[in-house]
Copies of this chain bind each other. A is one copy, B any other.
Amino acid sequence: MTINAAQLCELLQGELIGDGGTEVYGPSQIDKGIPGTVTFLANPKYEPFAYTTAASILIVSRDFMPKAPVAATMIRVDDVYGAMIRLTEKFSPNGVPAPGISDLAVLDAGFEENSGISIGAYVVAEKGVRIGANSVIYPQVYIGHNAKIGEEVIIYPGVRIYPNTEIGDRCIIHANAVIGSDGFGYRMDVSGQYSKISHVGRVILEEDVEVGANTVIDRGTLQSTVIGRGTKIDNLVQIAHNVQIGQHTVIAAQAGVAGSSAVGNHVRVGGQVGIAGHLKIADNVEIQAQSGVHSGKFPAGSRLFGYPAIGYQEYLRSYAAFRQFPAYIRRIEELEKRLAELTNGKA
């Protein structure tokens, strides 16, 4: 696919400076610009590259005043970052499969060809599964009985969905994620052996949730595990049974939320963070990567760090002191010695 500067300019409602016929086949970074690509000056500190980039088209802010000649065709726009997002979408490599249902799929329920859905090869969908209009089920996906998939959902290859799971409209689930697996619950009997506690709850993903590759979300014991609308979960994340995640929360890779905890709205959970079980994390909390949250007492908007997590600034101050502590041990011992001398001298 190629597009020329005049077409780009129209798409972005910008102002063209230079040759409208300049063609590009994709985007590139301003500091590594490639002929035949379009690039962006979003961050002022990259301005020097505007004068040297090999990219063919350069998108700049309306108020950008060049201090030297710019070789690239320029397009001035109101919102450079927004323009970048629109353009990368245009060049996005995940070309979604065309509607159609593979003959090489085992579908216990029938699906209508004309609802715009796409079901790839080697998919298995068990009895009672429903799939909404315009959803895409990539090859090799498994969907357990009675699961409901909303509209315009994208499920990448190898995803496994356990029975009764509910996936909201416009959710995206990346390759090899597992949704609805058994919670990790056992009861120890008198002989010291574990017997399994069945989980009859479900997993519910509300609308516009994204789930990363190889992430696992367990279903609830009695109630459902719920991921709120607009929440984004990265790769290799663990969401345990009964967890309730609010809306528009982001959870970075390899983080884990233990059983029955509730996480609020607009929370930002860093990579490899652990949240212990049965906690309630308030709205707008930000948890620094690798922290271990053992308490739900932190108010909305807190920024946390440490193991167990405390206030971000408090942790940094204590950690700075931690690094000095071997030196202070010597100073304490010196004080003791001098005080002893002083006392003895007095005695």
Contacts and interface: CB of A to CB of B under 8 A. Distances in A.
Contact of A158 (B81, B92, B142, B314): B142
A2 interface: no
Category for how many chain A residues contact B: 35 or more
Contacts of A95: 145, 163
Contacts of A45: none
A132 interface: no
A284 B197 CA distance: 22
Contacts of A91: 198, 200
Q: Is the interface of A mostly helix, strand, loop or mixed?
A: loop
Interface of A: 26-29, 32, 81-82, 85, 88-89, 91-95, 102, 104, 106, 120-122, 124, 138-140, 142, 144-146, 156-158, 160, 162-164, 172, 174-176, 178, 181-182, 184, 186-187, 192-200, 202, 208, 210, 212-214, 216, 218-219, 221-223, 230, 232, 234-236, 238, 240, 248, 250, 252-254, 256, 258, 266, 271-272, 274, 276, 289-290, 292, 307-308, 310, 314, 317-326, 328-329, 331-332, 335-336, 338-339, 342-343, 346
B256 A272 contact: yes
Number of copies: 3
A175 B174 contact: no
A240 B234 CA distance: 10
B200 A26 contact: yes
